[in-house]
Structure 1
Amino acid sequence: MSKSWGESVATHRHAVRDAIKNATWSLVHEHGATGVSMSRIADRVEISRATLYRYFSDVDSILVEWHADKIHSHVTQLRQAADGIGDPVERLTAVLTCYATIAGGEPRGGELATLLHQGAHLAQAEQQVLDLFTELLASAAQAGAVRSDVPPAELARYCLYALAAADDPARPRSGLVRVVLAGLRP
Structure 2
Amino acid sequence: MPKLWTNNVKEHRHAVRAAALDAAAALIAHSGPGAVSMTRVAEQAGITRATLYKYFPDVETLLAAWHERQVHEHLAALGQIRADAAGSGHELQAVLQAYALMIHDRRAYEAPHLHTGSHSDHAQQHLEAFIADLIRGDAGDLAGLGPEDLARYCIHAVGAAASLSSRDAVPLLVEATIRGIRK
- The one-letter amino acid paired with 1:41 is V
Distance 1:169 1:78, change over 3 A: farther
Is the Cα–Cα contact under 8 Å of residues 92 and 134 in structure 2 kept in the other structure?
A: yes
Matches within 5 A, 1:28-67: 28-67=28-67
The aligned length equals 175
Matched residues in 2 for 1:29 and 1:135: separation?
32
Mapped pair 1:150 → 2:145: yes
Q: Residues 108 and 123 of structure 1: is their aligned pair in 2 closer, same or farther, counting only changes over 3 Å?
A: farther
- Aligned counterpart, 1:161: 156
Moved over 6 A (4+): none
> Counterpart of 1:181?
178
How big is the shift at 1:22?
Answer: 1.6
Q: Deviations over 1:32-85 (max 9, x none)?
A: 434432122222222222111111101111111011011011111111111151
CA contact (8 A) 1:60 1:115 kept: no
Query: Under a length normalisation based on structure 2, what TM-score does the superposition of the two structures give?
Result: 0.85
**Superposed CA RMSD:** 2.2
- Structure 2: distance between partners of 1:120 and 1:25: 21
Q: Is the 8 A contact 2:32 2:108 kept in 1?
A: no
Structure 2 residue ranges without an equivalent (≥5): 1-5
Q: How far off is 1:169 after superposition? A: 6.5
- The CA deviation string for residues 107-154 of structure 1, in whole angstroms up to 9 with x for no partner, is 378xx61221111111111111100111111121xx3x0315111111
Q: Percent identical across equivalent pairs?
A: 36
SS in 1 for 2:90: helix
Q: Do the aligned partners of residues 36 and 76 (structure 1) sit closer, same or farther apart at CA in structure 2, a change above 3 Å counting?
A: closer
Does 1:104 find its partner at 2:104? Answer: yes
Work out whether 1:21 is the aligned partner of 2:21: yes
Q: Who is 1:82 aligned against? A: 82
8 Å contact kept, 1:159–1:180: yes
| Counterpart-to-counterpart distance in 1, 2:25 and 2:137 | 39
Taking a change above 3 Å as real, the CA distance of residues 154 and 32 of structure 1, as seen in their structure-2 partners, is closer
1:171 aligns with 2:172: no
Deviations 1:6-52 (A, max 9, x none): 96322221111111112123234445434432122222222222111
Q: Per the alignment, in what secondary structure is the counterpart of residue 147 of structure 1?
A: coil
Would the alpha carbon gap of residues 36 and 72 (structure 1) be closer, same or farther in structure 2, given more than 3 Å must change?
closer
Q: What is the rounded CA distance, in whole Å, between the counterparts of 1:97 and 1:83 in structure 2? A: 15
